Amino acid sequence: MATRLSDVAARAGVSVKTVSNVINDYPHITARTRAKVEAAIAALDYKPNVSARSLRKGRSDFIALAIPEMGSPYFAELGAAISRAAKRRGVTVLIDQTEGEADAERFVLDGMRGQLIDGIIFSPLATAPAKLTSDSTGKPLVLLGERPAGGQFDRVAVDSVQASHDATSHLVSLGRRRIAAIGVGGTSTGAVRRKGYRKALKEAGLPHDPALELAGTGYHRPDGAASMRELLALPNPPDAVFCFNDLLALGALRTLADAGLRVPEDVAVVGFDDIEDGRYHSPSLTSISPDKEWLADSAVALLLDRITGNDNSTHRDLTVPYKLEIRESSAG
């Protein structure tokens, strides 16, 4: 029914091997032969069967992107960028939502066996950092985001300690003295960003007040809104807040608006991720802006180098460039 390689070969009057050579761009084919084959391919509207090819080659040209959720803006934007980067390099991305569940993440770390993919880009959430130190998967895997030192995985990530330090220092430079942090709990992201936050406070000679560090239960708007409510209930509320991602910051802004407080006059707010929502919010949100295109392209390139065996170095650790985008929520 479907046209096969042999149909093309028959029509072009050459062997199957020759057609395969043309399709796979092997050298040493006369222009005339190539033209004949290409004409036959066009005439029959032939498309190679991907299953057969991957069965034979042991490669599918699929890679997986395993993220906690594709519905939240940061991962949506990241997924879009990785998907484009992969397409440019001729591979297809298959997005796996772990929902932050330990079982799903274990499956990913185990190489998603039987899943027809050549490698994985993985943004862990539930998995404890310690579990990430040994490479159990049979497939190449590139880690996104924080990870304790000494890990054995390739990784692409922002220097979160430095970025968090910059964000906090920016608030200090505005003359703020009681700077809160939202998102310190749970994940390794929280721990790493808190480190930068504390470092900046210390440098500025500001006291470290545990009451100003809010853990919350997650990294979404409702969590930010709830944490901000807690902060406002304090006898001595903060005059600035560094939120460990933009969703938390947008939730916090909502609480501040409800409370009738002015941003940045009463409370300055800084986020992390630079998602589009923040740029259009009123007030627009100051945020750490990682170069997502760079991140996406580097992660895909690194993974493909591992898959093809072009890169046999020990694990690589790439640092994503970022900027602090200063906007209305912390202006002046």
Reported in sequence order, the residue ranges of the chain that DSSP labels E, i.e. its strands, are 62-67, 92-97, 119-122, 141-144, 154-158, 179-182, 213-214, 240-243, 268-272, 286-290, 317-320, 322-325
In the shown chain, the binding pattern of residues 54 to 93 toward DNA, with x for contact by CB under 7 A and - for none, equals: -xxx------------------------------------
By residue count, the chain amounts to 332
Note whether 84 binds its own copies by CB under 8 A.
Answer: yes
Note whether 259 binds its own copies by CB under 8 A.
Answer: no
Question: Are the C-beta atoms of 251 and 222 separated by less than 8 Å?
Answer: yes
Residues ≥6 apart with Cβ < 8 Å to 301 = 85, 89
Note whether 15 binds DNA by CB under 7 A.
Answer: yes
User: Is the CB of 56 or the CB of 207 nearer to DNA?
Assistant: 56
- In the complex, minimum distance from the CB of residue 329 to its own copies, in angstroms, rounded to a whole number: 12
Total Cβ atoms within 10 A of residue 30: 8
Which of 6, 92, 173, 217 lies at the binding interface for its own copies (CB under 8 A)? 92
User: Is the CB of 235 or the CB of 280 nearer to its own copies?
Assistant: 280
Residues ≥6 apart with Cβ < 8 Å to 60 = 50, 54, 116, 117, 118
User: Is the CB of 92 or the CB of 134 nearer to its own copies?
Assistant: 92
- In the complex, minimum distance from the CB of residue 268 to its own copies, in angstroms, rounded to a whole number: 17
Question: Are the C-beta atoms of 73 and 251 separated by less than 8 Å?
Answer: no
User: Is the CB of 56 or the CB of 150 nearer to DNA?
Assistant: 56
To which residue do tokens 């046209």 refer?
Answer: 3
Which of 35, 39, 43, 49 lies at the binding interface for DNA (CB under 7 A)? 49
Task: Name the packing angle between helices 5-12 and 16-23 (round to 10°).
Answer: 110
Among candidate residues 177, 209, 288, the one with its CA nearest the CA of residue 243:
288
User: Is the CB of 117 or the CB of 192 nearer to its own copies?
Assistant: 117
Which of 7, 29, 44, 69 lies at the binding interface for its own copies (CB under 8 A)? 69
Note whether 4 binds DNA by CB under 7 A.
Answer: yes
- Nearest-Å Rg of the Cα atoms of the chain is 25
- Give the pair of three-digit tokens for residue 2: 């479907």
Distance between CA atoms of residues 310 and 107, nearest Å: 26
To which residue do tokens 């589009």 refer?
Answer: 276
Note whether 80 binds its own copies by CB under 8 A.
Answer: yes
93 binds, among DNA, its own copies, none (CB under 5 to 8 A by kind): its own copies
Note whether 55 binds its own copies by CB under 8 A.
Answer: yes
Please name the residue ranges forming H helices in 89-179: 102-109, 160-173
- In the complex, minimum distance from the CB of residue 22 to DNA, in angstroms, rounded to a whole number: 8
27 binds, among DNA, its own copies, none (CB under 5 to 8 A by kind): DNA
Question: Are the C-beta atoms of 44 and 7 separated by less than 8 Å?
Answer: yes
Helix (H) or strand (E) holding 25: none
Which of 25, 28, 31, 47 lies at the binding interface for its own copies (CB under 8 A)? 47
324 binds, among its own copies, DNA, none (CB under 5 to 8 A by kind): none
- β-strand pairing of 213-214 with 179-182: parallel
Which of 10, 38, 44, 53 lies at the binding interface for DNA (CB under 7 A)? 53
Residues that bind DNA (CB under 7 A): 1-2, 4-6, 14-18, 20-21, 23-24, 27-30, 33, 46, 48-49, 52-53, 55-57
Would you tell me which residues interact with its own copies (CB under 8 A)? 47-52, 54-55, 60, 69-73, 75-77, 79-81, 83-84, 87, 92-95, 97, 113-116, 221, 225, 250-251, 253-254, 257-258, 276-277, 279-282
